[in-house]
Each structure stands twice: as structure tokens, then as C-alpha cells.
Amino acid sequence: MSKASSAARARQPAPDTANAPHVLVVDDQRDNAMLLQHYLEAEGYRVSLADDGRDALRAVALSRPDLVLLDVMMPHMDGFEVCRELKARPDSALLPVVLVTALEASDDRIAGIEAGADEFLSKPVNPHELLARVRSLLRLHSTRLELEEARLAVERARGEQLRRTFERYVSPKLVETILTQPERSEDLLVNRNKRLEATVLFADMRGFTRLSEQNSPEVVVGLLNEYFSCLTEVAFRHDGTVFNMAGDALLVGFGVPLPQPDSVSRALLTAGEMQAAFDRLVQRWRKRYGVDAGLGIGINHGDVIAGNIGSPSYMNYTVIGDAVNQASRLTGLAAAGDVLALAAVRERADLDQWGFTEHTLRPPRGPVRQVGQAVFRVEYPPAAGQVEG
């Protein structure tokens, strides 16, 4: 080669390896490591070195290589131990590991396979075999990463779908709990009905008919949106599940879809805070529109069936059963400002915190049916139900 051509070659810039695959070479014999480094860098790979197993684990955690060439016979930690540790860690489980060893016994190869090694190279290393195995494993690693990313993308999309589905009627705290328990989310998405013990709360506006007659449809829709936003915010604060909004009635469940041993206390707190919050809302309505309204609430506890009900084209997750029917009838008997409960609620309530007065019902008007059992009016202590507006 002429001097001119040699000089021209010397002036050529070094290949750009910034985006090249990164190979970590681990060997306590520096000469062996540098020889592998020479072969790999000549092919355009980025190479870093580690002197022993401990350094290798630190290097993998810090630099995230694409492949590890790992000597077996090393002090402190041998290659088998390092390989097992790498494969046990979630962030390096897919990392290709090639064991470089002079050990030829089948037991040693089996030990390497059991440790999770992806390939083997025998010492002294043949450079052609080295580069062929590295290229093959890097292609496989790239494919694995693409498949894993695709799988994670599907999981993220499903998670977002579940979140959008659940957050419409479940409190943010319960949404997070459900998303961490896939079996629970499946129960809610498929047509699978379960019998549960739950506390049911119905809230119904008093004076809605008069309010509707006195205002335009646009105003009424705005008032309903304010009303439901006000009540659902309180329900979510106590991890209630909003099952239904029909007309001016709201159905909330506690202890469903997830068990809540204190479901009765949550329902009683919610009812008191709903009354207080609705009172503040009505005060604004009086000033703004000159309208008045009240809130009647009924609470019951018992067995319910929870599940998706509807047609193939439309499903709604809800609760049904006699406990729900009784709570609905009870709500129809509640006057503005009342929180009425049945004996099943009183039996499970902390009587040091809540007062229950047996309530004499006025004869119902219209199609409202009696509940056929003792009804109690919940008496709240002065501080109960008073929340920040």
C-alpha cells in the first residue's frame, strides 16, 4: 500500500458507534477481555469491560448493554452466579448472556443452561464464531424487545380502557385497586354475576317536578349536572360505587365491587355529607334561579346481585335484589332532609356515633309502596356530615 493511500486511510473518521449495539465483556483476565473487545469493535460494536461478576452486575444496571459476554471462572462470583442473578432481575431477564468458558464437560454446559445462558463460546474464542453468535443473539434480542413492547402497549391500552370504563362509576382509589387485580377487572367486564353483601344508598331530589316546570330544559339540564356532580363527588370521597343515575335519582353501593367491612359507616357518612353539600348547592340555586329543592335518602343493607345486565349491544354494571328494591321504596318515603334506614343498617352501625329514631311514615302518595318493616330516621351529631364546600 502506498504512503498516500495509507495517509488517506488514517484521515478517515472513525465509524460512529454511538447508536451501535452495546456489548459488555466480563473477564477477570484483562488480556482475554481486550482481545474480545478488539474483535467486536472492529465490527462496529460499542464495548465496555468489567473485571468480575460484581462489576458486571453494576455495569448492567447502569449502562443497560444489549448483550453480555461472560467468563465462567472468576473470583467472588462465577459466571453461573452472575447469569442467574441477571435472569432473575426483571430489568435484565431478557438480556442475552453468552458464557465464555474453557469448561467442556456436559455437566458444566447443563449448569449454564440451568443458569439461563443463551449461548456458549469455548476458549480460545474463534473470532468468526464469536461474531456470528453475537449477530444472531442481537437479532433475537431486538425481536424479543419489539414483541415485549407490543405486549406492553396492548396492556397499557387495555389498562386505559379499563380506567375509562371504571372511573365513570368507581372512585379513583378503587379504580387503582381494581387495575392491580386483573381477576377483579375481568369480573366487571364480562357478564359474570356475583352475590355480595352490600350497603345500598338511594338519593332522590324533592321538588324536581316543580323545578322542571319553572325553568327551561337547558337550565334543568345544567341543574341536574350540578346535582349529580355534587353527590357523586361525596360518594367517591367514601369509595362508593355509582351504579345508576335516572331522572333525579342516584344509586350508590358500598362493599361492591370490592368488599368493605365498614360499608354501613361509609354509607351513613356519605348520606350526611350529601345532605350538607346539597343544602349549600340549593342556596346557590335560590340566589341564581329562585328555585328550591330538597334531598331524600334511603339506606339498606343486605344481599345483592352485582354484574353486567343488558343486551349484547349495551351493558350496564349494576346491583339488583330485594335489598336494592327496599332501599328504593324507602327513599320514596323520605321527606326533604331525611336520611332513612332499615333495621339491617341500624344493627351494623356504631350506635355511639349514630342516632336512630324509629320513624312514623306518613301515608305514601301515588305509586310509592311501603317497605313492610320498621324504618329509622338517622340522627346525625352536630359535626357529622359537615364538609368543606
Domains (range + CATH), the chain: 15-148 (3.40.50.2300), 193-379 (3.30.70.1230)
Question: Given this model, what pLDDT does residue 5 score?
Answer: 41
Round to whole Å and give the CA distance between 45 and 22: 6
Q: Residue 82 belongs to what H/E stretch? A: helix 79-88
Q: Structure pTM?
A: 0.57
φ/ψ of 20, rounded to 5, equals: -75, 155
Question: What confidence score (pLDDT) does residue 312 get?
Answer: 53
CA 248 to chain centre: 31
pLDDT, tens only, 35-82: 999 999 999 999 999 999 899 999 999 989 999 999 988 888 898 999
Rounded Cα gap, residues 51 and 82, in angstroms:
13
Q: In this structure, are residues 28 and 51 in contact, taking their beta carbons and an 8 Å threshold?
A: yes
* DSSP type of residue 170: B
Could you tell me if 137 and 121 are in contact, meaning their C-beta atoms sit under 8 angstroms apart?
no
pLDDT for residue 196: 86
Question: How crowded is residue 280: how many other Cβ atoms within 10 Å of its Cβ?
Answer: 11
Res 388: pLDDT: 39
Q: What pLDDT is stored for residue 165 in this prediction?
A: 59
What is the distance, to the nearest Å, from the Cα of residue 273 to the centroid of all Cα atoms in its chain? 28
The residues of the chain scoring below 50 in pLDDT are 1-14, 191, 364-369, 384-389
